[in-house]
Structure 1
Amino acid sequence: MSKVLEHVNPVENVMPSGGCLPKLRKMFGTLRPSEKKVASYILNNAAQVIYQSITELSANSGASDATVIRLCNRLGYSGYQELKIALARELVSPSKNIHEDIGPGDDLATAVRKAFQANAQAINDTLDLLNMESLAKAVDAVAAARQVYLYGVGTSALAAQDAYYKLVRVGIPANFFADPHMQAISTVLTGDKDVAIGFSHSGSTKDVVDALSLAKAQGARVICITNRGRSPAAKLADILLLTASEETPFGSGGMPSMMAQLSVVDALFVGVALKIYDRAVRFIERTGEAVKGKKY
């Protein structure tokens, strides 16, 4: 791997967190058609790409040099050389995909291990994929909002409810309704000073998409937390926060996707709390006092 491998060993030369190939797979649905050509070629020919110049990669993938550079930047690399170094590192020491489906032949210990590993991988992959610029915009929007409306159904409703609890604890006026009809009704109250946050793993949950669409029509700023970057919910978003979780037919009941969503909620909460630090501390103390009598 010639000159590329010369840069693989030093720890201080580590590239952006998370493997290049896993990032490409997770981001593929959000890429432009021209970027998908390059991504597909890299995914299918990773061992060859590390030997190729940018011109060769462009020609082989049917895209332009500018598209290659743009894709590198979207992945978090400063340029093509940095992407090649990351690829070489990955091929020398490939990351293990620990997501395994639970099967009828598994004993209890094996099934539990797989469930825990799937949850851990969903969290780590989401951290690798999370766009800090988008997260910062979401933090600013929530911190400045008059009201925050949270929408989700099924397991995604649990993430929405968790966000509600956390935001209220730091003094952010938030609203969550578990009933889909009430979610739709609540959008009538939204306006251009409000934020609507939708949670949907698929990005295609009708109740969530409908609520976001109605809130957006009222002028609310829309934040979408989803696993699918080209989904109906994502297309409504002013700010998109992507999760990265793999679901299987006999997986752990949507737990990896929920863990990924909860991790994004935690990231958003931490960001908001830091943004309004003094206010957050004051409200945490006050809300703590409010429930102190609920414990023996």
Structure 2
Amino acid sequence: MASLLKEIQSIYSSLSLKEKNIADYILSDPDGASHSSIQEMAEKTGVSVSTITRFAKKASCASFVEMKVKLASGSEKSDEEGIEQTLLSSYREMLADVRSLSDNQAFDQVMTLLREAKRLFIYGLGSSGLAAQELNYRLSRMGFVSEAVTDPHLMVIKSTLQQPGDVIIAFSRSGQTVDLLQSVNKGKEKGARLIALTAFGNTPLTELSDAILWTIHPARNNFLLTGLDMSMLYLIDRISLHFLSEPEREAKYLETVEAITSTGISSVKKN
């Protein structure tokens, strides 16, 4: 099942509007889709049977039947599985998917851009703002000059004042958020480089990007009671751990730990 979901995600931006309805349905409820007849899926997605057949072929399946078989493999869950096991299984699937989307060459390119950056501006709006704040917290503690920007007006201001040597890290699952794109465009005009963490290719954001790290389709997170995309968190952890393996960065991080400890400030945030 995971390979089919990845295939659908990879072709998503090239699909027609009606085909995207099918993709959204399958990605948001693969188990339900695996139990639907072609007529039921057509009714639920508001498309014709022929559109579903055409979609199956675009998703590298010979027929609708083959697509159902691929969806069914690994989607069956025991009634006794329980919430905890379901959650663990979902996490494993998501992590397996984001690992399979990983490109080591692209990751190395991202790391090089971060190391060479004079300043880092981490952009994210809405739920992506949570990821931006988390990455900023990590990088700041390792000695990077970084700032999380989660307000669209402040993004425009920061981008207007950027210069060569600066790097923008943009979190956007859709890659089409207008406010973010306007700021990113402005930053690029000023000479900043751009790293995108996004779920879709062939978008305005990816076209502007110097390097891209891929996240999973947003619908895969719908069952979670959190705004933070787990695949984004995986990438944040991966970046953090790679830098912490460098003695200089680790020393900076430990210095901040000691500073916090010596002040007596609790590491637990309180309301």
Give your verdict on TM over 0.5: yes
Please list the CA deviations of residues 165-203 of structure 1 after superposition, one character each: whole Å capped at 9, or x if unmatched.
Answer: 111111111011232211221112322211101001111
Misfit runs of 4+, over 6 Å: none
| d(CA) in 2 for partners of 1:250, 1:19 | 16
For the 8 Å contact 2:94–2:216, the answer to whether it is kept is yes
2:126 counterpart of 1:154: yes
Alignment of 1:227-266 (within 5 A): 227-247=199-219, 251-252=223-224, 255=227, 258-266=229-237
Shift, 1:155, TM fit: 0.9
| 1:97, distance to aligned residue in structure 2 (A) | 4.1
Which residue pairs with 2:60 in the alignment?
A: 43
Aligned to 1:80: none
| CA contact 1:203–1:232 (8 Å) conserved in 2 | yes
CA distance in 2, matches of 1:153, 1:252: 19
Q: What's the counterpart of residue 238 of structure 2?
A: 267
Within the candidate set 92, 96, 102, 2:74 is matched to 96
Residues 106 and 213 in structure 2, CA contact (< 8 A), matched pair in contact too:
yes
Contact 1:226 1:242 in 2 (8 A): yes
> SS at 1:44's partner residue?
coil
Gaps of 5+ in 2: 15-53
Structure 2 contact 123–148 (Cα < 8 Å) conserved: yes
Provide, for residues 253-274 of structure 1, a one-character-per-residue CA deviation record: whole Å limited to 9, x for no partner: 665x611111111112223333
Match of 1:295 among 235, 259, 266: 266
For the structure 1 residues 42 and 25, does the alpha-carbon distance in structure 2 shift closer, same or farther, using more than 3 Å as the test? Answer: closer
Q: Give the 3-state SS of the residue equivalent to 1:225 in structure 2.
A: strand
Shift of 1:160: 0.6
Question: CA deviation digits over 1:44-85, x for unaligned, max 9?
Answer: 129xx9xxxxxxxxxxxxxxxxxxxxxxxxxxxxxxxxxxxx
Cα gap change, 1:137/1:190 in structure 2, threshold over 3 Å: closer, same or farther?
Answer: same
Long gaps (5+) in structure 1? 1-17, 32-36, 50-89, 100-105
Q: Would the aligned equivalents of 1:245 and 1:260 in 2 still touch at CA under 8 Å?
A: no
Q: TM-score, normalised by structure 2?
A: 0.69
**TM-fit CA distance, 1:118:** 3.8
In the alignment, the residues of structure 2 paired with residue 184 and residue 98 of structure 1 have an alpha-carbon distance, to the nearest angstrom, of 47
Identical-residue share of aligned pairs (%)? 24
Q: Is the 8 A contact 2:2 2:93 kept in 1?
A: no
RMSD: 3.7
Structure 2: how far apart are the matches of 1:42 and 1:25? 6
Q: Does 1:204 align with 2:179?
A: no
1:222/1:98 CA distance change after superposition, 3 Å: farther
Q: Residue 157 and residue 218 in structure 1: after superposition, are their counterparts in 2 closer, same or farther (change >3 A)?
A: same
Please tell me the residue identity of whatever aligns with 1:27. S
CA distance in 2, matches of 1:279, 1:168: 13
